[in-house]
Amino acid sequence: MKAMEVMKAMETMKATAAANANIAIIKYWGRRDDRLRIPTNDSISFTMDDQLESITTVEFDHSLKRDMLVLDGRPATAKELARVSGFLDIVRHMMERPAHAKVVSKNNFPRAAGLASSASGFAALAAASARATGIRMDLKALSALARLGSGSAARSIYGGAVEWRAGKRKDGSDCHAVQLSPPERWKDLRNVIAITSSTEKRISSTDAMARTVKTSEMFTCRLASVEKRLRVVRKAIAGHDFEGMAQTIMQESDSMHAAMLDSWPPITYLNGTSLEIMRKVVELNQSYGRPVAAYTFDAGPNAHIYTTAKHESEVRKILAGMKGNGIEKIMDCRVGQGIRYPDSHLF
Ligand code: PMV
């Protein structure tokens, strides 16, 4: 390397990470500490496969006057940049010689439409920026760091079935995710996703959950029932028992959306097609006399129907019958891996 190139390499620190979205079956909705993003309850999710992937390259560069962010090929809006810069400030706090950064991020699925792009996005950003600084972090520390960008990102650090523990400490130092079981245990699990709208949501999950905590009386009741559901789901995951958690998954989604509706002004993410899909899944289960599929919805109208490989085509068929009737696209996801570090950078 020539002297100039060596100087440049010392000035810049670059890394790339990839992470996948996760779809919760016990939801994170509400925080006991907004600044530290400490949730009111533990939550459980499955990390999805590479069809719902974010790849992010971060380069800290001492010659930059401010942070730069390119999202899906276009310059980020002021709001998006402010959120990412706020997160990078936390990383900079750990650096000996803090620098501004150029960040380029790419999603292979629509952002902000209830497909958990903030989870994969901030998990990839946390992993790439930590690696770019050269600071070594274990997965728990990365999970806690990702949490500060977007709560649900804490879970996307790991693959398979993942639990994010709220922890007890005030400073959030015990608030991170852990893997409950690896992706290989869930080869037969499917998430059939029905995209009923790919437009951005009207209210961010951050604002919406704060409103729920502040205004919904039902929210307190929900916290008690979440504890019961957590026990059911932990047991079912340990026993690899989809049927044992299917009904609980649906009731959990309903409980979160009911608390949203109970907020003031009411928060409604579901649309008519979402409700129709819920009815169809209930009917399918009734026809079997046992649950073979379970719907769940995040902060958006898109349906995630967890089912087993055996019933996947049946679920797809039901949704295909509704295509053109509010469903834009159907995707089949499997359970996927946690963060990884691709060899090539995005710039
Ligand atoms: O991490 P956020 O702020 O995007 O919150 C997402 C919350 C839900 O997706 C609705 C539920 C969850 O646990 O992922």
| 199 and 67 fall within a common domain | no
Mean pLDDT score across all residues of the chain: 93
Q: What is the total count of domains within the chain? A: 2
| 203 and 304 fall within a common domain | yes
| Residue 27 confidence (pLDDT) | 98
Mean pLDDT of 283-297: 98
* Bond into 342 cis (ω within 30): no
Identity at 164, one-letter amino acid code: W
Q: Is 151 in the pocket of ligand 1 (CB under 6 A)?
A: yes
| 251 and 321 fall within a common domain | yes
Of 123, 115, 145, 126, the C-alpha closest to 24 is 115
For residue 171, report the distance from its CA to the centre of ligand 1, in Å. Answer: 21
Mean pLDDT of 185-198: 93
For residue 298, report the distance from its CA to the centre of ligand 1, in Å. Answer: 7
| 177 and 199 fall within a common domain | no
Cα within 13 Å of Cα(141), Cβ side: 8
Whether residue 339 lies inside any domain: the answer is no
Mean pLDDT of 21-26: 97
- Count of H-run helices and E-run strands, the chain: 10, 15
| Residue 117 confidence (pLDDT) | 78
Mean pLDDT of 226-236: 98
The last residue of a domain, from among 133, 153, 184? 184
| Residue 112 confidence (pLDDT) | 47
Q: Is 150 in the pocket of ligand 1 (CB under 6 A)?
A: yes
Burial (CB count within 10 angstroms: exposed 0-12, middle 13-18, buried 19+), residue 214: exposed
Whether residue 115 lies inside any domain: the answer is yes
Beta strands at 74-75 and 31-33: parallel, antiparallel or unpaired: unpaired
Q: Is 118 in the pocket of ligand 1 (CB under 6 A)?
A: yes
Q: Is 255 in the pocket of ligand 1 (CB under 6 A)?
A: no
Determine which residue's CA is closest to atom 8 belonging to ligand 1.
298
| 240 and 329 fall within a common domain | yes
More confident residue, 142 or 7: 142
| 119 and 210 fall within a common domain | no
| 97 and 196 fall within a common domain | no
269-286: buried (b, 16+ CB within 10 Å) or exposed (e) per residue? bbeebbebbbebbeebbe
Contact 265, 214 (CB under 8 A): no
Whether residue 58 lies inside any domain: the answer is yes
17 φψ region: left (φ > 0), alpha (ψ -120 to 50), beta (else)? beta
Whether residue 76 lies inside any domain: the answer is yes
| 150 and 224 fall within a common domain | no
How far does Cα 183 stand from its chain's mean position? 16
Give Dmax over CA atoms of the chain in angstroms.
Answer: 73
More confident residue, 168 or 325: 168
Share of the chain above pLDDT 70, in %: 94
| Residue 6 confidence (pLDDT) | 47
Pocket test for ligand 1, best of 152, 203, 204, 257 (most atoms within 8 A of CB): 152
Whether residue 144 lies inside any domain: the answer is yes
201 pLDDT higher than 80: no
For residue 154, report the distance from its CA to the centre of ligand 1, in Å. Answer: 10
The last residue of a domain, from among 184, 213, 244? 184
205 pLDDT higher than 50: yes
For residue 46, report the distance from its CA to the centre of ligand 1, in Å. Answer: 13
| 95 and 169 fall within a common domain | yes
pLDDT in tens, 74-117: 999 999 999 999 999 999 999 999 999 999 999 987 664 556 67
Instruction: Give the CATH number, domain containing residue 95.
Output: 3.30.230.10
Instruction: Give the CATH number, domain containing residue 193.
Output: 3.30.70.890
Contact 107, 54 (CB under 8 A): yes
| 228 and 165 fall within a common domain | no
| Residue 114 confidence (pLDDT) | 56
| 216 and 171 fall within a common domain | no
Whether residue 347 lies inside any domain: the answer is no
Of 296, 280, 297, 299, the C-alpha closest to 245 is 296
Pocket test for ligand 1, best of 28, 145, 147, 203 (most atoms within 8 A of CB): 28
pLDDT in tens, 119-128: 999 999 999 9
| Residue 111 confidence (pLDDT) | 63
pLDDT in tens, 127-147: 999 999 999 999 999 999 999
| 11 and 147 fall within a common domain | yes
How far is residue 212's CA from residue 204's CA, in Å, rounded to a whole number?
12
Whether residue 30 lies inside any domain: the answer is yes
The boundaries of the domain holding residue 209 are: 189-334
Mean pLDDT of 17-35: 97
The last residue of a domain, from among 133, 156, 184? 184
265 φψ region: left (φ > 0), alpha (ψ -120 to 50), beta (else)? beta
Identity at 207, one-letter amino acid code: D
47 φψ region: left (φ > 0), alpha (ψ -120 to 50), beta (else)? beta
Whether residue 340 lies inside any domain: the answer is no
| Residue 1 confidence (pLDDT) | 46
Cα within 13 Å of Cα(185), Cβ side: 17
| Residue 2 confidence (pLDDT) | 53
How far does Cα 105 stand from its chain's mean position? 16
Mean pLDDT of 37-41: 97
Pocket test for ligand 1, best of 22, 25, 27, 304 (most atoms within 8 A of CB): 27
